[in-house]
Structure 1
Amino acid sequence: MSYKTILVHVDESTRASERIKIASAIAMTENAHLIGTAMTGASRYLVQTMMLADTNPNLRTHLDLLRARAERGLDDFENCVRRLGLPSFEKRLVDDEAGAGVCLQARYADLVVIGQNDPGEVSPVVMPDFPQYVVLNSGRPVLLVPYAGRFDNIGNHVLIAWDASMAATRAVSGAIPLLRRAQVVEVVVFNPQLQPQAHGAMPGSDLALYLARHGIKIEVSQQQTDLEIGDALLSQAADMDIDLIIMGGYGHARFREILLGSATRAVLETMTVPVLMSH
């Protein structure tokens, strides 16, 4: 298994270059094709209606401004990947809201790279629930890059949050190309006695055997904690000098009302290292 197509969300935010750099590094290592996609923020249904009617000059002017903004982000993307020497890439401008646009294109990618929501940088294109929406609706592993910090190398020292759930299973499976290149892979199982039917007599041992067949060695630890799992996970990552967390993303959405699990919400809000999530 390897990543052959990687999709990265592009915009004019101050952190766009960081996630482009990370996505490019993974694409280079995996010999993958990188797609930089920028959304105008205009609903594709509105744009289709405008194309049919074409009677509102104010809407047309506004759409042109949104497209120009997206094009500037794509120009920055192209300049960045050319400097890095990435041989296979393309850029896409899409008339759509960011979440819906990324999720639709994610169907044809192996990995999606997006940014954590920055509460200090309001975007006219990206809604505040963008990261969680993509995690829950893309159907792909999503690599989230924090809005603060530099990450020159990720995936050397990896922490897997394992609870034997379907979401965690999808996250681990989707991260196998990264895990194969890791120097150290740590697995933490919090409070395994609460789910004995899922973990068996030796929590984490089945995961160790599964990953060993992929050539990946892991170290498993079982920990008791009274903390919220998200807080315990982030604390563990800081103590172990982790540069990538892999975990399931839990929640459900009705229209744009998203209800997240507590651990997922805590990590999305306060992550300090990149996190790969799958739902």
Structure 2
Amino acid sequence: MHDDDSSSPVRRKLVLTVGAPLAATLAAALAGWLAWQAMSSDGGERVPKALGPLPVASDVVQGTPPAPVARPLAGKTVVIDPGHNPGNFDHPREINRLVDIGTNRKECDTTGTSTNSGYTEAAFTLDVSHRLRTLLQKQGATVTLTQDADRPYGPCIDERARIGNAAKADAVVSVHADGSGTGNRGFHVILPALVKGGAADTTRIVGPSRALGERIAREFALATGTAPANYIGGGTGLDVRKDLGGLNLSTVPKVFVECGNMRDPKDAALLTDTAWRQKAAQGIAAGVSTYLRD
């Protein structure tokens, strides 16, 4: 029987309403106890005591507030940029138009890659981004997605950067999967190079973006059990680029995470696995969290 079983006729705990005077409660209990003690049958045999032993202060249950939920990222803003868009396939003219990325002009967006079985990068990035959003929100972060398959195509790479800038994000993560050759395996995190030209100036974000990328690379490896890419980054899991408009035009810390290579069968088996995608989201979330809490 549990200690708090209310069905016991022998012993009941006296519950004190929060704020009620303890002395008055105990006095009332004492009076009732004495009254029952005074009652007896004609033969002198006492009637069973209704209250049992006199309650003591230790029997009084005080109301206590619930423990606060840990929200280490409260007050932080994170923008998640799911690479590509499922609708891009139906809008080749729109996504092929050139936009200004500061140093030159580049296509608005692309369709992304896919596995040999047809699982698209756009589907993968949305799935991981949804999982990542949930994990970060549970830690108290305010999270925005640049797209949620809620628009016909895009947004273009310059607009993706502007979304993070407008949000004054503490961190922006662009989720991707690579389309390299068979045998090329592993993940890597792309960092912004020092770029200054036209509308592009990454001077202020190079340092913090590297710190963000290093933490994501470390936590991603731990969470997924996968190794850094064997074909780029020299085994560090980090790659610095100056040709990506999403990085060049960002004014807040931002990185791209290439979670694996969709064109390699072994990596593709991971990327198409639901449990592994959850681990990928957990690794990215852990990296973002450690960066924002440092």
- Which of the five TM-score ranges fits, normalised by the shorter chain? under 0.3
TM-score, structure 2 normalization: 0.24
Task: Tell which structure's C-alpha radius of gyration is larger.
Answer: 2
Name the one with the larger helix percent. Answer: 1
Q: Give the structure with the higher percent strand.
A: 1
TM-score (norm 1): 0.24
